[in-house]
Every structure is written in C-alpha cells, then in structure tokens.
Amino acid sequence: MKNIIIFLIICIVITAGIAMGSEELSGREQYLTLVHNGLASQDVAVRVESIRILADAGGAGAKSKLKKFLQDASVTVRIETALALNKLSDKSGIPVLASIIKEKADVSSKDPPIKRARALTKNLARARAAEALGEMGGDSARALLVSAAEEKEGHVKDAAIVSLIRMGDRSNIDMFLRGLKSSDTNVRCRACEVLGEIKEEKAKGLLRELLNHWDKDVRQAASVALGRIGDTESIKTIAEMYADKESSVRMGAAEALGYFGDPAFIIYLQKMLKDENGFVRLAAAESLMKFKDISGNNFLMSAIKAADTDARLKAIKIISKYGDTGFLEALRKALVQEENEQVKINLAGAILKITDKNSKDKE
C-alpha cells in the first residue's frame, strides 16, 4: 500500500511538471506569434521591430522567416533583416547590403528640390547599409567600404570610414579628431560619437574642453563619449551636469555615468530620478540598472504606461535589456491594455527575452 501511494505521488508530480511546461510553452508561443504577426504589418517600423525581436528570440524557423524580408520593398527592412540574420550567424544579407551601397543617387545641385530630397533619402539608406556592412565584417565588406570611403557624398563616405575604423583600419582617425574642432556643431557631435564608440584615448583632452561648449548638443555628445572611453578625470565634472539647465545635457550625463561604472556616483543618478524631464529619468534608471541598483525600477514600471509613445518604447527596451522576472507581471498587464502595434511588439519581445534569460539561468 505504501509503495502504491509513493507511486501515485510521483505520477502527480510528473503530471504537474508536464502541465507547467506546457503552459510555459504555450505562453511563449503566444508572444512569439504576436511577433510573427508583426512581420506582416504594413507599418515599416513594426516590421523592423519584429525582425529585431525575432533575431533575439531565435528558435527553429527564425532564419527562414527572416530571409524572406531580404526582398522587402522597404530598404530599411532589408538592411535590418541583414543585421538580424548576422546575429543568427547567417551572412546571406551581405550581397543585399552591397547592392544598396552600389546603387548611387544621380543628382546635382541644379536638380529640383524633390529630386534632391529623394537622393538624400537614398544616400542615408546607403550610409546605413555601410554601417551594417561594417558590423558584419569580412574581406568582401572591407573592399566595398574602402571604395565607398572615397565617395564625395558625405553621409556614405562618413559611414564607410567609421565602419572601416570599427574593423581596425585607423588610417582616417585624424579626420574625426579634427572634427572636434570644427565650427559646425553637427560635425563636432558626430566626431564625439565616433571617437567615443571606438574609445579613442587621444581624444580625451579635446573632449574635456567640449564639456564647456556653448552648444548643448556638443556638451551632451562630449560627456557620453568620455563616459564610453572611461575618462576618470572628467567623471566629477560630468556628474555635476545633473544640474545643467538643458535636459539633453542632463540626459547625456546620466548615460555617461552608466558607462563609467563607478558606484560612488550612483547618488547623482538617484537625484536624476527626480528630474522634471521623463527622458532624463529614463536615462538615469537605465544607468542604475547597469549597477544592479533597483532605485529606478518603479519608475520604469510606470513608464511603460506613459502617455508618450517614445517614452513607453524606451522604458520597455531598457527593461528588456536589463530587467528580470520581477517586471513580467507589469509587462503582461501593459500588453493587454496597449493599443499601439509597435509598442505591443516590443512588450512581447521584452517578455520573451526575460523569460528565455530566466530559463537559461535555471539550466
């Protein structure tokens, strides 16, 4: 009799385990289906988000589903599909990117405004393709980027040079160092962005000077660049920017402090959680999550229900990247109430990413 009771208990436990596993699977499939449905959306932004999320989720059939979008009518979708496939160790998007870069826009200053506007749109897409090709790397990519770096068109030339630098070719690094002294603030900001991304030590002195620049965008870009480089000499100055009159500068300071990774400055990020600007608070909350500090978690959970769509998307993406299972209930509730298709896709993606990460941690 005792053996029968033990046998029955074991059967109940196994059955319960199978049932729970089935619920988890069906739950995951529910969110994955939502992402798959997003691939068929007429909205380019929704298709792009769905492609990115599917690449993160992976799984059987992900590559075959994504490859169809290498022929999409939208050049943006084709570029993002190539990047998504690369994330899944599939390089089949390289010829697509090469084709986009090679298709030059035939335009002159004498052409009517509408033709010049179309040419600009095309060149911006070519520049994005050059950036994507740089991320994917390879000898075939290098040859094409070297050619694109010699073009007269500024956006494509700049993107190709940046991609080559990422791939280890530093022959044009001085161009960006000179850019820090340009009279054009847009050039200065771009130089800050590139030099910060590649962690260029030679740029630190000039970047520190730009922390006091009259233009708010330059100050923001310089602080983020120094944060990425890890310039400890400037960290205190950047921390004090939490009180800058410009919200964009405060946002840059919050981001930079997250890159520095010095817990002594968490107090400044906690102060920024009370900022009047919601995006400054979001930047502070994201940096705090890098420190495993939960001070901003409640704000993030409230932000996924914000009236501003961009704020909701930003909060969801932060949670997706750094969050844990403690956010799942809030994400699921928000998904039920959300009406915006792009936001819904991102909510589903965040739930998938957190649950998948949790499953791996248990293995």
Q: Identify the pLDDT of residue 360.
A: 77
Average pLDDT over residues 6-23: 37
pLDDT in tens, 172-218: 999 999 999 999 999 999 999 999 999 999 999 999 999 999 999 99
Q: How far is CA 315 from the centre of its chain?
A: 12
Q: What pLDDT is recorded for position 26?
A: 54
Mean pLDDT, rounded, for 283-303: 96
Residue 6 confidence (pLDDT) above 60: no
Is residue 206 within 8 A of residue 177, CB to CB? The reply is yes
| Highest mean pLDDT pick, 100-109, 157-166, 304-313 | 304-313
For position 192, what pLDDT does the model report?
A: 97
Q: What is the pLDDT of residue 15?
A: 37
CB 192 within 8 A of CB 180: yes
pLDDT, mean of residues 342-355 = 96
Give residue 358's pLDDT. 83
- Here the tokens at position 230 are 């890890």
Quote the pLDDT of residue 351.
Answer: 96
Residue ranges of the alpha helices (H) in 231-340?
Answer: 235-239, 247-260, 266-272, 278-290, 297-303, 309-322, 328-337
What pLDDT, on a 0 to 100 scale, did the predictor assign at position 9?
41
Distances (CA, A) of 89 to 76, 136, 156, 161: 20, 10, 26, 24
Region 285-309: mean pLDDT is 96
Cβ 254 vs Cβ 291: under 8 Å: no
Which range, of 49-58, 99-108, 297-306, 346-355, averages the lowest pLDDT? 99-108
Which pLDDT value is given to residue 105?
A: 82
User: Residues 4-30: what's their mean pLDDT?
Assistant: 46
Report the pLDDT value the prediction gives residue 25, as an integer from 0 to 100: 42
What does pLDDT average to over the chain? Answer: 90
- pLDDT of 247 over the 60 cut: yes
Residue 22 has pLDDT above 70, yes or no: no
Q: Which two tokens stand for residue 164?
A: 């080559």
Please compute, for residue 153, the number of CA atoms within 13 A of its CA located in the half-sphere on the CB side: 26
Q: CA-CA distance, 287 to 322, in Å (whole number)?
A: 10
- What's the pLDDT score for residue 363? 65
- Residue 23's pLDDT is what? 40
Nearest-angstrom CA–CA distance, 8 and 243: 66
